[in-house]
Structure 1
Amino acid sequence: MNPSRSTATAPSGSAAPSVSAPPAPPSTASTFAHEDTLPRVPLPTLADSCTRFLSWCGPLLTPEERAATEAEVAAFSGPDGPGPVLQAALEEYDRTPGVHSWLDTFWPYRYLGRRDRIALNANFFFLFQDTGQPQVERAAGLIGAAVAYKRRLDREEIPPVVLRGAPQTMEQNKYLFSTTRIPGAQQDTVRHPYSEEWPGPSDARHVVVFFRGTMYRMDVLGPDGTPYALDDLAAGLSAVMKAGAEPAAPDTSVGHLTTMARADWAATRETLRAHPGNAAALDDIETALFCVCLEDFAPADTQETCDELLYGDRGNRWFDKAVSFVVFADGRAGINVEHCGLDGTTILSFVDTLLGTPAGEQSRESGARVQGRPEFSALTFELDDALQARIRTAAEAFAQYGADTATRTVSFEDFGSTAAKALRVSPDAFVQLAYQLAHQRAKGRLGATYESIATRQWRRGRTEAMRVVTPETQAFVAAMEDPTADAAARRAAFRAAATAHVTRAKECQAGDAPEQHLWELELIQRRRGAELGITEQPALYRSPGWQIMRDDYLSTSSAPSEHIQYFGFGSTSSRCIGIAYVLLPDRFNLYLSTPRPVADQMHAFADHLRAAVTELRELLAGE
C-alpha cells in the first residue's frame, strides 16, 4: 500500500471537451496582454458552497452519514459558527491590493505544501507521437523547437489562447523555462524567472543533458544569444553520449535525491550545498532552461515507455525541473512535467507548438545559425560516504515505489469523440459515465470521482475540482445493472446523467464549485485560527461528507492532442485508479495507475470499461 498518496491530486488537464469550443483564430495581442484585464475568479458565497457541498457529497453517503454531515454544515455556516468568520477573512484577502485571486495562497499550499515525493505522485507525462527519427536527431529537434518557443515567448509573440471569444490566462508560460522546484522543510519554493529575484525572461543559455546517470551542462544559445543550428545541437548531444559512454559510478547520480520525500530532500540538499563546488553545480541545474534525458535503452512496448516517462529514474532525471524531455534509444520521446506551476492545458499548447511544425523550420525562424559544436561539461558533485548512502537509499526506495505501482494502457481504435457526437452525447460525459459503470462492475460500488476542469478564462485561473457522481449517475448505473430495466429506461437514465454531467462541468468552469472554496476556508483556520478566534479545526472537515467526497476511487483528467499518444499520472490514494485519457475524434487512449495491492481491480476495471463502451454505443444507437 502507498498511504502517502492520500493527499495527492490529479494533474490538471484540459477542460472537459463537453463544455469546450474550438479555439478562435490566433490573437494578434502579445502573450501577456490580457493578464491584468481578465476577470477575477469569482468568490462563492458561503451559503452557495455549503448547499453545493451537500449536493455533491450526498450520493456517496448513507442516510446516517448525510444527516451527520448536514448537522456539521449547519453548525459551520450558522451565525455563531466559524464559517462566516473565515469567509469574511477570505473576502478581505480577496480585496487586498496586489492579490489576483482568492486562490493566490491556495495554489502554493496545494502543490508546494505536499510533503511526500513528487516523483510519480505529482509529476505527469505525455508520450509524443513517433517520428521514426534516430535518438540524437529527435532530441536535437525538441531542443531547437523549445528554444524557438522561448525566443518567441521572450518577445511575447506567443499568441494568447482564446476560447469562445474569451482570452485565457497565459501566466503559466512564465514557468516553462529555467524553473525548478526547491525542496523546503515545511513548504517548497520555486526558483523561476519573471520574479522579484529574477526579473523578466530567463537569461540562461544552457540545458542539462542526462546520460547514464551523469549530468552535463550544454549550451543551446551562443554567447550572443543566437540559437545553435540543429546539426550543432546533434553534434553536442553525440559528444555528450561519447563522454558518458561509461555509466556513472555507483551511488553518485545526484538526480536520485529528487525522488525523496520533500523534507528529507530539503535536508539532504542543504548537506549537499555545504560541500564546496556543489552549490555551483546545483545552480547550473536549477537555472537550466530545461532537462534532456537521453536513455541508453528502448522500452519493450508502449506501456513500458509510459511507465519510464512517469517514474523511470536510474539517476537520469531531475524531477524538480519544470520540463524534462525524455528521448529513448529508438527515438521515442515524451515529456515529464513538474506540476506546481504548470497545468496540462499549458503543456498541451507548448507541445502542440513544438510538434506541430517541423523542427528545422522552427529552428530557422528562431534565427539559429551554424556555430560549431556547443560547449558542454560534466556536472560533478563532491560526495562523502553519507551522501552516497543517501543516494543509494533514495534510488532503492524509489525503485521499490515504482514496483509497487500497477499500470495499464487501454486503447480504443474504433471509438472517439466523433462516434460519441454521432450518438448525440458529450464525448466527455460518455466516457465519464462509462467509467462509473465499469467501476461499479469492477469494485461493486460507486466511489468519489475527481475530474479536473480548466478555468483559465479567469485571472491566473488554473483548474476547478469537479466531483462526477451525481444522483443521475447513480440512477443510470442502477438502471444498467437492473435486469428488469428495458432499453428505453436505460437510455433515459443515461441521457439524464449525461445532461447532469455537462451542467456540473459548466458550473465548475464558471467558478460555481464548493470544494476548493471550503478547502481554502480550512486553510485560513490553520494559518490564522488563533488570530480569528477559531483555535480548532471546524468539525465540518471531519464529517463523513467531506472525507468521503474527497477520498478518490477514480481520479481523472483529459489531454486531447493529436501530437500525443498517451498522458499519465500516478494514483492519488491507496485504492484509487488514476485515469489519464486522450480522447480524440478517431481514438481514445487511457493510462491507468493504481497501487499494486489493488491491481486486480484496476485490470477488471479496464476489461469492464471496454465492454461498457461497446454496450453504451449499442444502447444509444438503438434510439
Structure 2
Amino acid sequence: MSKKEELEGIKTFSNQHRLPKLPIPSLEESTKRYLNSLRPLLSSEELARIEQHVKDFIRPGGLGQVLQQRLIDVDRISPHNWLDDTWWMKKAYHEWRVPLIVNSNWYIAFNDDPNTPKGYLTHNNGVRPKGQFSEWQIKRAAHIIGRMLDFKELLDTEKLPPDVTRTYPLCMYQYTRCYGVTRIPKPGCDELVYTPHPAPAKHIIIIAKDQFYILDGYGEDGQRYSDGDFEVQLRRILDDVLKTKFDPPIGVLTADDRDFWAVARENLLKISPQNRESLTLIEDALFVVNLDDYSTGMDLDKFIRNMFHGLNAHNRWFDKALSISIESNGRAAMHGEHSPCDALIPSIIVNWVISEPTALNASISGRLTTTPRRIRFVTNEQTLKDITEAEKRVGLIIADSDAVILQFSEYGAHFIKKIAKCSPDAYMQMVLQLAYYKTHKKVVPTYETGSTRQFLRGRTDTIRTLSAESKSFVEGMESESLTAQEKYDLLQAATKIHSDYTRDVSNGKGCDRHLLGLRLLLREGESHPLFTEPIFAKSQEWLLSTSGLGAGNRLSGSGFGCVYPNGYGINYLTGDHLLKFGIESKYSSTETDSNAFRQNVVNALKDMKNICECVNGKYEKESH
C-alpha cells in the first residue's frame, strides 16, 4: 500500500495530539552553532574574543544558565509552543511598523491555465489596456473561487490528508490560519482578528476598480454555488462597477505604514457606523479576489510586480491572509500577509486549487443566488488626505522595488540528484552563495527558512547557510588553479554541512530562535557581551534572505522582499527539470542589482553543472 493510500481516510488533524512540543536546545549546542556560523566572517583574533564571551555565558552559575532556566519556565507554562505562544507573532511580524507591501507580504504566481482561449496571451503580447475586464478573466476567477471553497471543505471536514515526512507527521495548525484571517493595524503592535476554525464566514470579497463587493459562496442549503453561478455573479459585479460612482480607494491605506493605517482606520470608524460594518465584512471574509481591469502581458517581471503590489497598491487589501489577483488576460497569483502562516502552506493550497483547469462551459446550478452586494465607505476630508499621503509613501516603496523572475530550463532537481549527487535544496543554496560571490566578491550572512512543523504549532528557525565550507566552495569555484574534482569535493563538503544544519533545525535545534528567547528574557540591568558584541547583530543582517517552496510545478514564480536595503530577498522553486527564482532588491542601493544577480545565478548554475559533469559524466536530459 502506498503512503498516499495509507493517508486516505486519516483525518486532517488526527496527528496533532502526537506532536511533541518545540524543544529547548542546550546552551552548549546553540552557542557552538552560533560560533561555527561566525568562522567565515571573523579573523582568528575576533573569533577568540567571541569564544571567551560564550565560555562566560554558559559557565555554571553564569547569566546563560539563569536565562535558560527562565526559558524552561516559559516552556512549562506554554500550552503549545514556547516560541509561538509567547513571542513569535509579535516580535517577527506585528511589532514591525513598516508597510506590509513588498517588506513582508509574499506572492505566488500561477502557471497559465491550459484552457486559456487563443488570443488572450498572444494578441498584443497579452497586454490589455486599463479599463477592460474580460470573459475569460471571469471564468478563471469563478473556477479559482470554487476550488478555494472546495479546499476549505476538505479542511473543515478533515478529509485533507495530514502532511507527513518519511519519518514523522507535521503540524497542520497553520492551515486553520488561512481562511477568514485578517491582520488589523493597532498603534505599536498589530493583531489578527479572532477567527475560529472552521472559519464561519460564507462570503468572499471581490475588489474591482477599488470598489468592494460581497460574493456569497454558499446557498441557504449550505451547498457552495457552482462555478457557473459564480460567473453570473461576477458579471453582475463588473456590470455594476462599470456604471457606478466610485468611492475613494480605501484599500490603499492597507499598504501604508502600520501606525499611519491604524490612525486612518480609527478615523474611518469614527466617521460612521457604516464603516465598522464595511470593515467587518472585509475582515471576516474567507479571502479576497482582486479583478484587475488591465493586464501586464507576457513579460514575467512586469506580471509578478503587479501580483506583488498592484499599480501603486490599488485594487488590493494587503491585510488579508489570502488574496488572489487576476489580470484581464486571466493570469493570476496569490498574495499573502505573512504573520498567520508561512508561505509554504498557501503554496500547497495553490497547487491543489489550480491542479484542475478552468472549464470553458461551467454549469449553472439553477438555484436562486443572492445578488452581490456592494460595500460602501463614508469618508471625510481626513480620509482623502490619508489616502493621498499613503499613495505617496507607498509609491516610493514600489518604485524602489527591483523584482525579477528567472526561469532556468537547462536542468533541475533530477540532474542535481543524479549527476551532482547532492540534496537539491543544499545545491540551490550553494548556487545562491556562488551567485552572490560572483556579483559582490565577498560572502555575507545568509538566512534560509527552516521548517519546525514536526513540533506542535512549529513555524520556522534559521538555517545559517554561510559556513566555512560554503566560503571555501565559492572561493574555490572562482579559482583557476583548482581541478574540477577539487571543486566538486568542495561542493560536496558545503552541501553536506548545509544538509546537517537543515536537519538540526527541523529537529528543533537551530540556534537563532533559542538565542532570541534567551535575549528576550533579560531583565532590567542585565546584559552580556554575547548579545552586546556588534557581531551578534551583524551576524543576523541577512543580506541574502532566502526560502524554497518545493518543486512548484504549477507555479510560474514566487517571491518576497529583501529584509535589508542593501540585500536580496530570494524565493526559489526546485522542479525536476525547471528551476525558478524570484529575486528582489532595491534600486536605491548602490550595492545591489537584481538583473546582475539573476545573470550570475545563471552563470553559477552553468559552472556548477560543468564541474559535476566533469566528475560524474554527462547528463542526458530526459524528455518530460
- State the distance in 2 between where 1:433 and 1:31 align: 36
Q: Which deviations, in whole Å up to 9, do the C-alpha atoms of 1:469-523 show, x marking residues without a partner?
A: 1111111122122222222221221221121111111111111210111012222
The match for 2:378 is: 382
1:550 to 2:540 alignment? yes
Deviation at 1:314, TM superposition (A): 4.3
- State the distance in 2 between where 1:275 and 1:224 align: 37
Deviation at 1:438, TM superposition (A): 1.6
RMSD: 2.2
The match for 2:164 is: 162
The match for 2:149 is: 147
Q: Which deviations, in whole Å up to 9, do the C-alpha atoms of 1:256-278 show, x marking residues without a partner?
A: 11111212211221121112211
Contact 1:214 1:247 in 2 (8 A): no
The number of aligned residues is 586
Q: Matches of residues 469-484 of structure 1 in structure 2 within 5 Å?
A: 469-484=466-481
The match for 2:18 is: 37
Contact 2:454 2:507 in 1 (8 A): no
- State the distance in 2 between where 1:437 and 1:298 align: 35
SS at match of 1:594: strand
The match for 1:191 is: 193
| Alignment counterpart, residue 391 of structure 1, candidates 387, 391, 407 | 387
Contact 1:435 1:609 in 2 (8 A): yes
- State the distance in 2 between where 1:103 and 1:85 align: 22
The match for 2:252 is: 256
The match for 1:13 is: none
Contact 1:212 1:314 in 2 (8 A): no
- State the distance in 1 between where 2:157 and 2:544 align: 41
The match for 1:304 is: 302
Letter in 2 for 1:470: S
Cα distance, 1:22–1:63 mapped onto 2, change above 3 Å:
farther
Q: Matches of residues 267-282 of structure 1 in structure 2 within 5 Å?
A: 267-276=263-272, 277-282=274-279
SS at match of 2:109: strand
Cα distance, 1:172–1:97 mapped onto 2, change above 3 Å:
closer
Name the stretch that deviates more: 258-267 or 580-589: 258-267
The match for 1:5 is: none
Cα distance, 1:360–1:178 mapped onto 2, change above 3 Å:
farther
Q: Which deviations, in whole Å up to 9, do the C-alpha atoms of 1:527-559 show, x marking residues without a partner?
A: xx24xxxx3454322323322221112111111
1:463 to 2:460 alignment? yes
Contact 2:407 2:581 in 1 (8 A): yes
Q: Matches of residues 95-114 of structure 1 in structure 2 within 5 Å?
A: 95-96=76-77, 98-109=79-90, 110-114=92-96
Higher relative contact order (CA 8 A, sep 6+): 1
Deviation at 1:224, TM superposition (A): 3.1
SS at match of 1:208: strand
Cα distance, 1:23–1:471 mapped onto 2, change above 3 Å:
farther
Cα distance, 1:22–1:524 mapped onto 2, change above 3 Å:
farther
- State the distance in 1 between where 2:59 and 2:325 align: 53
- State the distance in 2 between where 1:184 and 1:574 align: 25
1:371 to 2:367 alignment? yes
- State the distance in 2 between where 1:107 and 1:256 align: 27
Structure 1 stretches lacking a partner, 5+ long:
1-20, 195-199
Deviation at 1:232, TM superposition (A): 1.1
Contact 2:106 2:336 in 1 (8 A): yes
TM-score normalised over the length of structure 2: 0.90
- State the distance in 2 between where 1:524 and 1:223 align: 52
Contact 1:57 1:548 in 2 (8 A): no
| Alignment counterpart, residue 593 of structure 1, candidates 584, 594, 599 | 584
- State the distance in 1 between where 2:195 and 2:251 align: 22
Q: Which deviations, in whole Å up to 9, do the C-alpha atoms of 1:340-365 show, x marking residues without a partner?
A: 1111221122112212235669x99x
Contact 2:78 2:85 in 1 (8 A): no
SS at match of 1:387: helix
Contact 2:586 2:593 in 1 (8 A): no
Letter in 2 for 1:498: T
Contact 2:278 2:375 in 1 (8 A): yes
1:284 to 2:281 alignment? yes
The match for 2:314 is: 315
The match for 1:86 is: 67
- State the distance in 2 between where 1:24 and 1:536 align: 55
Cα distance, 1:602–1:543 mapped onto 2, change above 3 Å:
farther
Deviation at 1:248, TM superposition (A): 6.7
Name the stretch that deviates more: 87-96 or 68-77: 68-77
